[in-house]
Amino acid sequence: MALIQVNYLSKVLFRTVPVQVILPVDKISFQTMEYEKRTEKFKTLYLLHGLLGNYTDWVSGTRIQRWAEEKNLAVVMPSGDNAFYVNSTLPGNDYGEFVGRELVEITRKMFPLSDKREDTFIAGLSMGGFGALRNGIKYADTFGYAIGLSSALHLFEENPRTLNGENTIFGDMREARVSDKNPKIALANAIASGKELPKIYMACGLEDSLIESNRDFYQYLTENGADVTYVEEPGAHEWDFWDRQIKYVLDWLPLQEEDNGLNSGNVKTA
């Protein structure tokens, strides 16, 4: 399994940004001892970190690298700073456009990734769960599947728990509430424009303080005809929960188990 760090000049963020990529291109055949040939391009998961995190979080906090190899899945993990993956009021901080369009376009140029909507997925945890659901819906022409784990969907409640800096990201929160920065408005806009919605997976831990806002959004999705799978299980806002859930997500996505070939965790012995 190749684990690649990319640094490229982003047009929409107007700076060089780091991205980590899991790419299962280095599988060696037991029979020939050559790199296995592949004619199909890789299905791809764009995987977003949470608040205070960065592009290394998923690899260090979960077993995503091993499970992606088992599924022959490419995984692209950008840094989203603390920007909630929406276009900010500040110039050079259009993080919605970054993950919804640019990142997909540039990584397809760099790597053998499928350009099919049904092979392109977006997921995240907490702040990244918010970003995956909102952008999966807003950019429904890009993503066929959207996954939110312990998603920070509380931001547009009447009296949300907030951190310093939300106004810098969202602008006036009363105006943002009725804009497509709000996932509910993004959904309404997508439906009104006739877009095919992505299939959606949501999960939240029973001990997570965000569970009520996740239940509320799940109900809103079902009331509006979205194809959504919703899971609650014991767990808090923590890596043990996200590690379990990302395995369930990969089993839920339209992927197949494939031969791992020869690698450091699968060495054939006589």
Phi, psi of 210 (to 5 degrees): -90, 5
Compute the average pLDDT of residues 124-133: 98
What does the pLDDT look like over 54-76, one tens digit per residue? 999 999 999 999 999 999 999 99
pLDDT of 27 over the 70 cut: no
Side by side, which strands form the sheet with 199-205?
2-10, 15-23, 74-78, 44-48, 120-125, 145-149, 199-205, 228-233
Q: Please report the pLDDT score of residue 267 as a whole number.
A: 47
Distance CA 98, CA 18 (A): 12
Most confidently modeled of 23-27, 42-46, 156-160?
A: 42-46
Q: Please report the pLDDT score of residue 134 as a whole number.
A: 98
| Structural domains of the chain in order of their starting residue, each with its CATH number | 2-252 (3.40.50.1820)
Q: Using a pLDDT cut of 70, give the percent of the chain over it.
A: 87
Q: Please report the pLDDT score of residue 270 as a whole number.
A: 43
